[in-house]
Every structure is written in C-alpha cells, then in structure tokens.
C-alpha cells in the first residue's frame, strides 16, 4: 500500500506541477490538497486567488480540498496553531506525508521541516533542486501543456505590467535579467488553470488590477473570458 500524502496547494504552477510529478512517479497516493485561505477575504494568501477558483482546481484534479482558514491579520502563532490542527486531522486520516512545491529556498524548506519534526508527517519536496534548474523547469512545464496566469507581481522586482499575463515562453523572454523564471524569489505568483494534472481546464478570466500592500494583483474571476 502506498503512503497517503497531502499536497500543499497555493493554486500556482509549482504546486500543480508537483501534483503531476508525484502522480507520474506513483510512489505515494495523493489524498488531498491543502490550501490556507484568508477568512476575511476568501482568498489564497499572497496569490490573492478566490476560493471558488481553488475549489474548481481541486475538482479538476479529482481531489478533496483541505482548506485551512486563517484570520486576518494572522500572527505567526495563529498560523502555526491552525497548521497543528491540520497535522492532527491528517494523522487521524492515516496521512504520513505533506508535499510542497518548493524549488530551492533553503530557509523555507528548513522552516517546513522544523514545523513537521516529530509530528509523524514527513515533508516531501518533489521539485527540489537549485536556481540553475528553474529555466529548464519553466520550459518543461510550458511544453507539457501547463497553463497559468500571473496573479501577483512584486513591482520592486518586475514591471507591474506583467500581472495578468500568461506564464509562457514570451513572458520568460521578457523577465528582468536575474529574475527567477519560476518566480521562486517572490518575483511573481501564478494561478494554474490547465495542464496534465487536471482533467479539464478551469474557466477563468482576468479582471481588474489591484495594488495592495506593495504588490500588484490581478483579480481573477471564475468563468470563461467573453468572445
């Protein structure tokens, strides 16, 4: 019997690609997608994606969504308390692993490992590599049919005009020199709406651009774009 594993789900391309990779390897059984949602706004933290779109992703992936509601504002203690509740629920369901789509940020990985140490839940990093790997990884995602839209851009690192753009070869060519092609340093975040991890595309259209807390967000709306 394969170990039961949850996948941390940001709604972006990296978590979506991690799902695809884990399923291809076939070593574990993915039993759910874990998403933290802002209770006040009903959106994914940092990505700003509406909960309705995340639920549509889970349905297209054929997996239940394990939503973790977070207060706003949310202290680190409150966050860790909610995540401890998730771990308890996971253990009760026979889950033995929690996978993440992290690519190379060692401090982020170390934090996750510390938080799960002694919990009975093993952290997994199926995409882990180095900054040198991400140009090829970005091209591999696009070549395999992954489709994503930039839901958030850090204007201190990239031009704000990129928010709402497609994550495609043209975008990769236009990134600021030194920017990570997968946005691993926080340059941008994405919403993945199609790819080999889904059984159907998620209908979505790009709404207004909103600037908040020093970031630029595209308000992504459920439903296909008008003809």
Q: What is the pLDDT of residue 38?
A: 83
Q: Give the residue with greater pLDDT, 37 vs 4.
A: 4
What span, in angstroms and rounded, lies between the C-alpha atoms of 76 and 82?
A: 10
| pLDDT tens readout for residues 102-159 | 999 999 999 999 999 999 999 999 999 999 999 999 999 999 999 999 999 999 999 9
Largest CA distance in the chain: 53
Binning pLDDT at 50, 70 and 90, where does residue 77 land? confident
Q: What is the pLDDT of residue 97?
A: 97
Lowest pLDDT segment from 176-180, 203-207, 221-225: 221-225
What span, in angstroms and rounded, lies between the C-alpha atoms of 191 and 1?
A: 33
Q: What is the pLDDT of residue 213?
A: 86
Q: Where in the chain is the domain with CATH 3.40.50.620?
A: 4-124
| pLDDT tens readout for residues 168-187 | 999 999 999 999 999 999 99
Binning pLDDT at 50, 70 and 90, where does residue 223 land? confident
pLDDT cut 90: percent of the chain above it: 81
Q: Tell which CATH classification among 3.40.640.10, 3.40.50.620, 3.40.50.1970, 3.20.20.80 matches the domain 4-124.
A: 3.40.50.620
Q: What is the pLDDT of residue 225?
A: 60
Q: What is the pLDDT of residue 35?
A: 92
Average pLDDT of the chain, as a whole number: 93
Q: What is the pLDDT of residue 226?
A: 52
Q: What is the pLDDT of residue 40?
A: 65
Question: What average pLDDT does range 194-218 have in this prediction?
Answer: 95
**Long-range contacts of 38-42, Cβ-Cβ distance < 8 Å, separation of 24 or more:** 38/70, 38/72, 38/74, 39/69, 39/70, 39/71, 39/72, 40/71, 40/72, 41/72
CA 23 remoteness from chain centre: 16
The alpha carbon dihedral of 133, 139, 145, 148 has a sign of: positive
Lowest pLDDT segment from 26-40, 165-179, 192-206: 26-40
């Amino acid at each position: 019997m394969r170990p039961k594993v949850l996948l941390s789900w940001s709604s972006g391309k990296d978590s979506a690609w991690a799902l695809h990779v884990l399923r291809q390897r076939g070593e574990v059984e993915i039993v759910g997608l874990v998403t933290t949602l802002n209770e006040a706004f009903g959106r994914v933290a940092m990505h700003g994606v509406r909960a309705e779109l995340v639920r549509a992703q889970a349905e297209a992936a054929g997996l239940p969504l394990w939503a973790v509601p977070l207060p706003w504002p949310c202290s680190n203690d409150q966050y860790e308390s909610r995540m401890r509740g998730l771990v308890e629920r996971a253990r009760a369901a026979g889950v033995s692993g929690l996978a993440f789509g992290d690519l190379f940020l060692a401090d982020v990985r170390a934090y996750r490992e510390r938080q799960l140490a002694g919990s009975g839940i093993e952290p997994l990093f199926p995409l882990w590599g180095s900054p040198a790997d991400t140009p090829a990884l970005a091209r591999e995602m696009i070549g395999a049919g992954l489709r994503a839209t930039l839901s958030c851009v850090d204007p201190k690192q990239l031009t704000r005009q990129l928010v709402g753009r497609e994550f495609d070869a043209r975008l990769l060519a236009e990134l600021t020199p030194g920017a990570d092609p997968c946005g691993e340093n926080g340059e941008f975040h994405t919403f993945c709406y199609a790819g080999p991890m889904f059984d159907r595309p998620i209908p979505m259209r790009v709404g207004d651009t909103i600037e908040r807390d020093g970031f630029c967000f595209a308000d992504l709306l459920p439903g296909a774009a008008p003809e």
